Structure formats: structure tokens, C-alpha cells
Amino acid sequence: MTNFHVHLVGAEGAALGTDFDTVAEQLGAIPRLHLELDGSFVWVGEGWQIDGMLYDRDNRLRYVDLKGNCPLSIWQQLASFCIEPNFAAFVVHLLDGGLYDLQTFERFTWP
């Protein structure tokens, strides 16, 4: 598994199309995921771990900081909770400066 450290952000810096409370509620229902009230969380499975932080402003989720390593299916499940299903305009911002749509990021991270 490849290590990653990314931000999920909306197109051109827009919010992700959902709110903090909705995402926190969904994440809180995932087994083996521990979520703090400040939006920090850790999700651990056998041989993988994701650390994250939810950032909000004006009642909208602005971006999600994610780092760790995991199978593609786990990544896709987590990303689906952070991005409203009908909100297609978002990007993955690698901390090295690259901007990618989700499918491109997934393709080179999990070949």
C-alpha cells in the first residue's frame, strides 16, 4: 500500500458540498473509526491506518486533511462520506503541490 497525505478540497477552493455535522455523524458510525469533537479522527484496520481532520467554516466542510495508507476500497468509502454524492467538482490536493481529480489520484496511488 502507498502512503498518502492529501487534502480533499472543492474546485477552486470551494467548500466540499456538505457540512461538518453530517460528515461527523457518518464517520462516527464506522466501526474502528474514532472521531473527536474537534473533527480529528483515526480509522484503523488490519495493516492500514488513516488519520484525518475535518475543517469547516460558515457551516460548510471546507476541506479534509487525510494521511495514511489503506486499500482502495477503504479510501473510496471514506472519500464518499466527505464529499456529497452529487457534488462532482472537487480535487485532491497533494501536499507536494499537485492537484488531481479523485479518479486520477486513485489511479496512480492504487495502480
pTM higher than the cut 0.85: yes
- Output the pLDDT for position 111: 87
Asked if the model's pLDDT at residue 95 lies above 80, the reply is no
Q: Are 90 and 98 in contact (CB under 8 A)?
A: no
Compare 11 and 44 and report the one with higher pLDDT.
44
> What span, in angstroms and rounded, lies between the C-alpha atoms of 11 and 19?
16
Task: For residue 37, name the pLDDT band (cuts at 50, 70, 90).
Answer: very high
Does the pLDDT at position 79 exceed 90?
no
E strand map for 46-103 = 48-57, 60-69, 90-94, 99-100
Find, among 13, 11, 20, the residue nearest to 59 by Cα.
20
Per-residue pLDDT tens over the stretch 4-22? 888 888 776 677 878 899 9
